[in-house]
Structure 1
Amino acid sequence: MSSPSPVKVIGASDSPYSHRAEAALRLKGVPYELLLEDLGNKSDLLLKHNPVHNKVPVLLHGEAAICESLVIVEYVDEAFPGGPPILPGGPLARAAARFWARFIDDKCSKPFWLALWLEGEAREGFEKEFKENMALLEAELGGKKFFGGDTVGLVDIAACVFAHWLGVFEEAAGVRLVADDEFPRLRRWAADYAADEKVGACLPDKQQLLKNFTAKKAMFVASAKAMLPK
């Protein structure tokens, strides 16, 4: 019997997108090696295996390279069927999970980022958009522990930045996007997500995150300004 193909993740220690890949592997019980990337000096390995976007994470499974964090999560779910499922079983529920995962990346991420690092009226507009989208997530979560029910699934992994990174980004940016009395269901969900033994094991230390993000603040501000239409 042949040995299983090795699994490696090219990732960054402070990236919520890298966490997505690790969380999926840990939920499925798949051993892996984490190859930490210096995003200021990208390695030949990263450029070789993700020549389109040059971004982390990249999952290396034997000779195969899989890019994009949500694609990786679905690949892990299908390639390692022995562990608990990450996506729900029925086609309708799977479609809904994919919809909300894409909603987080397509509709929540940009206004969240711009509301953190911009100033003035532009920032206020993006904060309003961000909160409107968070309200939609709050409604979708409803009274469930996790978005898919009682266990961590695709949408929870997709939303991990709001479970662990949000407060750190707020502190580094010097802004408060979410007040203590806002989105109580999402706050409870965030605590449950971080408390999950498997995904919690690959969440980075918040003090180290704060140190990293504070040092990169000028770069983050520049990146936010560059995202605005000319």
Structure 2
Amino acid sequence: MAPTIPASTGSTRARLWIKFAEEKSIAFMSFYLAQGEEHEKGTKEAKQVLKVLEEQAVGKRKYFAEDEIDLVDLVVGWMARLFGSIEKAVGAKVKNASDFPQLLAWIQNIRENPAIKASLQNHDELLAHHKQKRQMIIASKTA
């Protein structure tokens, strides 16, 4: 499941993590937009992806590339912006502090970065949007 990433080259490492994040995004979509067994499968897969990011990508670094935000942070940074409201819209939690302390620290670091913080959307508006979108997609699947 996890990519094999050489520790030496930053750009190679970044490209591999971006590819990993893109390939694994379907798990988060299943968590968000599915019900029943498909939702359970998506939840399990999303937790596995978060575990890989926790253990191999972020580790104890402030950002993916140590002390400065890089492209990987921006690609995976949607979690910092959106995932809390998605969890609330679904009514289920994937990222618990006890399971993913480094990942949650990374999310906090992203949110506190001045450039990112200035562009964060209102949480209540995001939550309303995610609830409405989820209901609409689930309704279209059952119609």
Per the shorter chain, which TM-score range? 0.7 to 0.9
Matched residue, 1:187: 104
Per-residue displacement from partner, 1:32-68 (whole Å, max 9, x unpaired)? xxxxxxxxxxxxxxxxxxxxxxxxxxxxxxxxxxxxx
TM-score normalised per structure 2: 0.84
Alignment of 1:126-165 (within 5 A): 126-139=42-55, 140-165=57-82
Could you tell me which amino acid in structure 1 is paired with residue 21 of structure 2?
I
d(CA) in 1 for partners of 2:22 and 2:106?
18
- Paired residues, number: 134
Pair 1:111-2:27 in alignment: yes
| Contact 1:170 1:177 (C-alpha < 8 Å) held by counterparts | yes
d(CA) in 2 for partners of 1:209 and 1:119?
21
Q: Larger % of helix: which?
A: 2
Deviation at 1:105, TM superposition (A): 1.4
Deviation at 1:101, TM superposition (A): 1.3
Unaligned runs of 5+ in 2: 1-7
Unaligned runs of 5+ in 1: 1-90, 226-230
Alignment of 1:2-13 (within 5 A): none
Matched residue, 1:215: 132
- More RCO (CA 8 Å, sep 6+): 2
| Contact 1:101 1:158 (C-alpha < 8 Å) held by counterparts | yes
Matched residue, 1:123: 39
Could you tell me which amino acid in structure 2 is paired with residue 124 of structure 1?
E
d(CA) in 1 for partners of 2:58 and 2:130?
29
Matched residue, 1:98: 15
Could you tell me which amino acid in structure 2 is paired with residue 172 of structure 1?
A
Deviation at 1:222, TM superposition (A): 5.5
| Contact 2:86 2:127 (C-alpha < 8 Å) held by counterparts | yes
d(CA) in 1 for partners of 2:139 and 2:27?
15
Pair member with larger Rg: 1
Pair 1:201-2:126 in alignment: no
Deviation at 1:185, TM superposition (A): 0.2
Matched residue, 2:93: 176
Q: 1:180 to 1:141 in 2, by over 3 A?
A: closer
Deviation at 1:218, TM superposition (A): 2.0
Deviation at 1:217, TM superposition (A): 2.4
Per-residue displacement from partner, 1:129-187 (whole Å, max 9, x unpaired)? 11111111112211110000101111111111211211101111222222232210000
Deviation at 1:110, TM superposition (A): 0.8
Tell me how large the CA RMSD over aligned residues is. 2.0
Identity of aligned residues (%): 30
TM-score normalised per structure 1: 0.54
| Contact 1:116 1:175 (C-alpha < 8 Å) held by counterparts | no
Could you tell me which amino acid in structure 1 is paired with residue 32 of structure 2?
L
